[in-house]
Structure 1
Amino acid sequence: MTSTASATTPTGISTRPVAQRRVLAVLVGSQILSGAGLAAGITVGALLAQDMLGSTDLAGLPSALFTAGSALAAVVVGRISQARGRRPGLAAGYLTGAVGSAGVIAAAVADSPALLFIALFVYGAGTATNLQARYAGADLAAPAHRARAVSTVLVATTLGGVVGPNLAAPTGDLADTLGIPSLAGPFLLSGAAYALAALVLALWLRPDPLLLARSLDVQQRAEGAEGTEAETALARRSGLIPGALTMILTQLVMVAIMTMTPVHMHDHGHGTAASGLVIAIHVGAMYLPSPLTGWLVDRYGRMRIAVASGTTLLAAGLLAATAPGDSVALLAAALALLGLGWNFGLVSGTAMITDAVPLATRAKTQGMVDVSIAIAGATGGLASGLVVSTAGYPVLALTGGILALAVVPAIAATASSR
């Protein structure tokens, strides 16, 4: 009773910064682990499917299954978080991802493609949970520091994301030793990493950031701050649609161009080393600038950085469309801009959503927004191949860049309606 009471007394408000620092530290630890699990599995998912099926026809299916599983898990994790708090929601999501990893290993041992596809769908829960953790970082953050809190959680994913793919070969050797197909080896790491992330959250994500934020909100209202809170919520409610639209568009455009860039490079005679370098630079640009982006969003406003996201993605599309196919440097620069534009959109959009949605429905709404983001990513990935096969990579890149600019009129309409 003592700890609960201290959070709901007048002096308890001063514990918010202390609790926020603890929450961020725990989230960073779990994100490093889950980032390793996420990256390790995705690295070999398509290769494992190709090896088991003996064909490349369905090698792209693992990515689609990750996305479908991620979309469903986003709803479930959001609802659990809404009802019980972030701790059980996120822990359950990561534990489900660990179960999916075990299923992939079992499918590889049994040489069962059907079990593989079911397991990959379940494995997608880890992807959704990894993304939803950013919201937990913002629950207790002051409005002026929300974007920086989100960016802290995002950049932690990079650390695990760098380690995971580099352990593909060692985990493959371990799998051979255990009598498991070597391509399933990285899923040993994924399962362990997701399970540990779930354990870290279950044990140490205390106080629960969403539940404590609700408690403090009730206290502030009881002390007479209700009018101010209502006015603030009303002023920011208009950020819900542009925030969601910003993240949906940036995800669609980023996935579409990213997916087909290695294919485009292969068609121009580049090997996997060159395309791997370009994608590595792209992934780095997606996450590493997060601390700077968070500061920019808090300093200059959500709307301005959302507009910067659209213009940055346009620049990426233009450069990718006009870069000679034999220029690795220019394609790398284009993909770096693509990652940066996505980062601008995700951090600013997340901050807008968190500002706009009241605590009473926050987690549920955030889960539904992430479903839309997942569907947008799947749409971008599926449509990109069709566009390239019919019109070419430059048309895809240019179309994506122009589409990203739809963020600008949405932001302008929101600003004019205030």
Structure 2
Amino acid sequence: MQMVGRAEAQRRTLRTLMFTQVLGGVGLAAGATVGSLLAERISGRTDLAGLGGTFQTLGAALLALPIATVAHRAGRRPSLTLAYVVAALGALGIVAAAATRSFALFLLGSAALGAASAANSAARYAAADLALPAHRGRDLSLVVWVTTLGSVLGPNLAGPAEPIARALGLDVLAGPFVVSAVVLMLGAVAITALLRPDPLLLSRQLSGEEAAPRKGSLGRGVAALRRHPEASQGVAIMALGHAVMVGVMVMTPLHLVHGHASLAIVGFVISGHIFGMFAFAPIWGIGVDRFGAPYVALAGGAILLISAVLAGLSAAGFSVLLTIALFLLGLGWSAAFISGSTLLVGPLTVTERPAGQGLADLGMGLTAAICGAAAGVIVQHWGYAWLAHVALVGAFTIMAIAAMAATASARAAEAPVDRPV
């Protein structure tokens, strides 16, 4: 009876999270199309146009631990609700910044909007709270997969949002952020109304674990990762996969434009990259459940390796080679992300999970921000090909960690089990 109840609760959890992931994806992607244009208009400087995305990434990283702390103490429902509300307020802050021409408010709003990214990341862990080990990879990957819908729908709302902005007397570039605010608040309402029972609290109850201790999330997370080498390997795989993906991806539009590619071509190449990131997530999830997370991570590292080689060989401007490289970049990231997340979740106890997961997402976010900034310096001084060469190091390292994890898993499976006489 308990197993039936758990299975039904997991189905409800997955349905709710998949719905809110679409809303979160739309909320983030709606403004992404015009974010740099609005930053340039408010600041009056082209060199500051990318700061909105940087602050959004930093916001997602810095908010990961507070969101994990709320989950640790009160459950997934209040933590995800809080994240969506903060993100909606961030979108409204950007709208206010457009009206007042305040670049400082724009950056603050962008950082708060990053809470939506943090919520989308935390949702995959919520999908694993009640999942049986045999289906953990699949359930986690389904929540990642539906992000594709939001990522595709969001940018297409820039046009329809224009009359909304005009009706409100706002800059037309602020219209998509009005849509973001509304959609993200809908996400908060949906989480509050539908995520019942709370998957983390129910999992804690079913496992018989006591109420969570109230010490700091950072210390709990570090302690949990130190106790479980497999979880630490998962964090390293995710962070390195993120570093390779972000570092190459953020400079690819520049590489295309330097070769006189049109903005339509840039959009086509990046769309293929995003498709690779999310569309095949269920395949990786099934692979994790069938073959083991280390082997999927090894495949992800190999795909990232091929992607970096192809990107390094591509000339500036549009080419089939670069298009394939960016698609593979997204595909390899997806494999590393799904397998690393599953490696992280597997050995952690229910009480340890929020802190360990928050620390992992903090590391991923900071890695993305640092690598995005470093990529610009590398391309400016040495060129795009050298950036791809540096990415090779990250891909090789993922493969080495995955090989070590696979070896440890095989040894554990072969070890004799002590049975009572």
Give me the TM-score of the superposition, normalised by structure 2: 0.91
Name the structure 2 match of 1:90.
80
- Conservation of the 8 A alpha-carbon contact between 2:241 and 2:394: no
- Conservation of the 8 A alpha-carbon contact between 1:70 and 1:124: yes
Q: Deviations over 1:81-113 (max 9, x none)?
A: 011000000010011000001111111111111
Name the structure 2 match of 1:288.
279
- Conservation of the 8 A alpha-carbon contact between 2:257 and 2:317: no
Name the structure 2 match of 1:279.
270
The 5 Å alignment of 1:374-389 reads: 374-389=365-380
Q: 2:173 aligns with which of 160, 183, 188?
A: 183
Name the aligned partner's letter for residue 364 of structure 1.
Answer: A
1:413 aligns with 2:404: yes
Name the structure 2 match of 1:227.
none
Name the structure 2 match of 1:144.
134
- Conservation of the 8 A alpha-carbon contact between 1:75 and 1:368: yes
1:15 aligns with 2:38: no
1:135 aligns with 2:111: no
Name the structure 2 match of 1:34.
24
Name the aligned partner's letter for residue 95 of structure 1.
Answer: V
Whole-angstrom distance in 1 between the partners of 2:79 and 2:346: 21
Name the structure 1 match of 2:164.
174
CA RMSD of aligned residues (A): 1.7
Name the structure 2 match of 1:7.
none
What is the deviation of 1:326? 4.1
Whole-angstrom distance in 1 between the partners of 2:119 and 2:204: 21
Name the aligned partner's letter for residue 109 of structure 1.
Answer: A
Whole-angstrom distance in 2 between the partners of 1:192 and 1:40: 11
Q: Deviations over 1:167-203 (max 9, x none)?
A: 1111123102210001111101110111000100001
What is the deviation of 1:328? 2.8
1:318 aligns with 2:306: no
Per mean C-alpha deviation after superposition, the further-off stretch among 60-69 and 91-100 is 60-69
Identity %: 41
- Conservation of the 8 A alpha-carbon contact between 1:105 and 1:188: yes
Q: Deviations over 1:258-294 (max 9, x none)?
A: 0000100100010100011000000011000011111
SS in 1 for 2:47: coil
Whole-angstrom distance in 2 between the partners of 1:415 and 1:168: 45
1:100 aligns with 2:100: no
Whole-angstrom distance in 2 between the partners of 1:58 and 1:71: 21
Name the structure 2 match of 1:404.
395
Name the aligned partner's letter for residue 307 of structure 1.
Answer: L
Whole-angstrom distance in 2 between the partners of 1:190 and 1:143: 35
Name the structure 1 match of 2:341.
350
1:124 aligns with 2:114: yes
- Conservation of the 8 A alpha-carbon contact between 1:49 and 1:58: yes
1:248 aligns with 2:272: no
Name the aligned partner's letter for residue 137 of structure 2.
Answer: A
Name the aligned partner's letter for residue 148 of structure 2.
Answer: T
Per mean C-alpha deviation after superposition, the further-off stretch among 356-365 and 266-275 is 356-365
Per mean C-alpha deviation after superposition, the further-off stretch among 316-325 and 256-265 is 316-325
What is the deviation of 1:249? 0.3
- Conservation of the 8 A alpha-carbon contact between 1:260 and 1:385: yes
Whole-angstrom distance in 2 between the partners of 1:82 and 1:244: 19
Whole-angstrom distance in 2 between the partners of 1:400 and 1:110: 41
Name the aligned partner's letter for residue 154 of structure 2.
Answer: G
Name the aligned partner's letter for residue 190 of structure 1.
Answer: S
Name the structure 1 match of 2:216.
none
- Conservation of the 8 A alpha-carbon contact between 1:255 and 1:381: yes
SS in 1 for 2:9: helix
Whole-angstrom distance in 1 between the partners of 2:333 and 2:80: 23
Q: Deviations over 1:31-50 (max 9, x none)?
A: 11111001112222111110
The 5 Å alignment of 1:157-306 reads: 157-218=147-208, 237-306=228-297
- Conservation of the 8 A alpha-carbon contact between 1:16 and 1:140: yes
Name the structure 1 match of 2:62.
72
Whole-angstrom distance in 1 between the partners of 2:208 and 2:403: 34
The 5 Å alignment of 1:47-66 reads: 47-66=37-56
Whole-angstrom distance in 2 between the partners of 1:357 and 1:44: 40
Unaligned runs of 5+ in 2: 210-223, 412-421
Q: Deviations over 1:121-162 (max 9, x none)?
A: 111111111111111111111111111111110111111111
Name the structure 2 match of 1:230.
none
Greater share of residues in helix: 1
Q: 2:300 aligns with which of 291, 309, 317?
A: 309
Q: 1:334 aligns with which of 307, 325, 329?
A: 325
Per mean C-alpha deviation after superposition, the further-off stretch among 186-195 and 169-178 is 169-178
Q: Deviations over 1:205-262 (max 9, x none)?
A: 001111111111118xxxxxxxxxxxxx99x933111100000000011001000001
Name the aligned partner's letter for residue 88 of structure 2.
Answer: A
Q: 2:385 aligns with which of 389, 394, 401?
A: 394
Name the aligned partner's letter for residue 396 of structure 2.
Answer: L
What is the deviation of 1:391? 0.8
- Conservation of the 8 A alpha-carbon contact between 1:46 and 1:60: yes
- Conservation of the 8 A alpha-carbon contact between 1:73 and 1:129: no
SS in 2 for 1:180: coil
- Conservation of the 8 A alpha-carbon contact between 1:274 and 1:328: no
What is the deviation of 1:388? 0.4
What is the number of equivalent residue pairs in this alignment?
A: 395
Name the aligned partner's letter for residue 42 of structure 1.
Answer: A
Whole-angstrom distance in 2 between the partners of 1:406 and 1:93: 33
- Conservation of the 8 A alpha-carbon contact between 1:148 and 1:295: yes
Whole-angstrom distance in 2 between the partners of 1:307 and 1:244: 14
